Amino acid sequence: MQEILGGVCAPKGFKASGIACGIKKNKQSDVALLVSEMPAAAAGIFTTNKVQAAPVLVSKQRLQKGTARAIIVNSGNANACVGPDGMLSAEKMAAAAAKMLGIDEDSVLIASTGVIGVPLPVEKIESGLAQNQGFLSASGGNEAARAIMTTDTFAKEVAVEFELAGVSVRIGGMAKGSGMIHPNMATMLGFLTSDVTIDQQLLHKALQRAGELSFNRITVDGDTSTNDSLFILANGKAGNKKIATVDKDYQIFETALIHVCTGLAKMMARDGEGATKFIEIKVSGAVSEVAAVQAGKSVANSNLVKTAMFGEDANWGRILAAVGYSGIDFDPQTTDVYLGGLLVCKGGTAVNFDETKAKQILSAKDILITICLSDKSQYEATVWTCDLSYDYVKINGSYRS
């Protein structure tokens, strides 16, 4: 498996791009469209928030048939909590895309991101699509990735190429998200494409596992959004033998999908609102994988840990305390904590360590926190987060204005 360029357009049979329809105040591109040349197996996973935006509700319903042709996405407006008009606006978005593409309306999935509680000016999207008939391109993945950004500081794309029984196949992806990021989906939108031929139920199975090991293991600020959506379209254009069982080809495909999703998820954590540092938290020796994830998320969500990382303060007590209130079963007296490769806590107690070395480790842009709960278990997990800086407050204190 090797990483390649192209994002969502790297697999065969996909086109995409982005245009400015006037939803964002800064006149930047704010609508992305992604289309497959042929009907594709489709799957999606969504926010666990009970407050769900109209595009989430519409897309959930449309995915029940298991196929789709296109996805339309807008940024700058969440189309959430606006009453019945939200559903109508989501359906109008899809209808406008379907009309431009000459396909059925129910084969178009929808996603939105931006401010909650403000009606979506869907007429701007309808007008923008009508005036930009030829904007889609087989090299338009980056334009689409930029169109879905809100407070993101860079476009997030990953694509890979690998082989299934001698046939070259690809997976591409793009995502957005840098705030309201929390496990069990975040204020994130993710879009994946593949030219693999695969059974729809197995596609959904692989997506769930990939999402669990990537997007559900990042956090920026502990907030879960109303709009979180992760889609995948697989159109079979590569011509491989159909993946119909959980066999070797399925495992290869799932591994590649996890790689793409993990790459995108790490980008989101690295691009956290106001972030100055990317933090990787590895937990080992837990009683189960679930416990390892739970402990890691507890540390990753601790504002005290995150501010200590911002201040480059080797305050390991905050890390141990966060594990302590995580709710997992562990023994503090067998727990060690490392910053980078530096042991700062042994058996739940202080050790003499080089403060200068610790400061050097924490001054880096990438920081590794390792928590060894015991040497009697093999269960482990990794989660990713960022520090909490002054700029996070500045960004979110004036988000609507």
* Catalytic machinery residues: 187
166 strand-pairing partners: none
The gap from C-alpha 338 to its chain's centroid, in whole angstroms, comes to 27
Comparing CA positions, the residue from 266, 146, 276, 220 lying closest to residue 396 is: 220
- In the block, tokens 């159909």 appear at 242
- In the block, tokens 């890979």 appear at 160
Residues 129, 95: contact at Cβ < 8 Å?
no
Residues 198, 127: contact at Cβ < 8 Å?
no
CA distance 371 to 360: 20
Comparing CA positions, the residue from 223, 332, 252, 242 lying closest to residue 285 is: 332
Residues 330, 241: contact at Cβ < 8 Å?
no
Comparing CA positions, the residue from 181, 395, 371 lying closest to residue 280 is: 371
CA distance 345 to 350: 5
Residues 8, 175: contact at Cβ < 8 Å?
no
Helix axes 316-324, 289-300, angle to 10 degrees: 130
Give whole-number Cα distances, 292 to 317, 326, 334, in Å.
Answer: 19, 10, 15
Region of residue 5 (left: phi > 0; alpha: psi -120 to 50; beta: else): beta
Helix axes 303-310, 289-300, angle to 10 degrees: 60
Count of helices and strands (H, E) across the chain: 11, 15
**94-97 LR contacts (CB < 8 Å, sep 24+):** 94/58, 96/72, 96/122, 96/125, 96/126, 96/129, 96/130, 97/33, 97/70, 97/72, 97/129
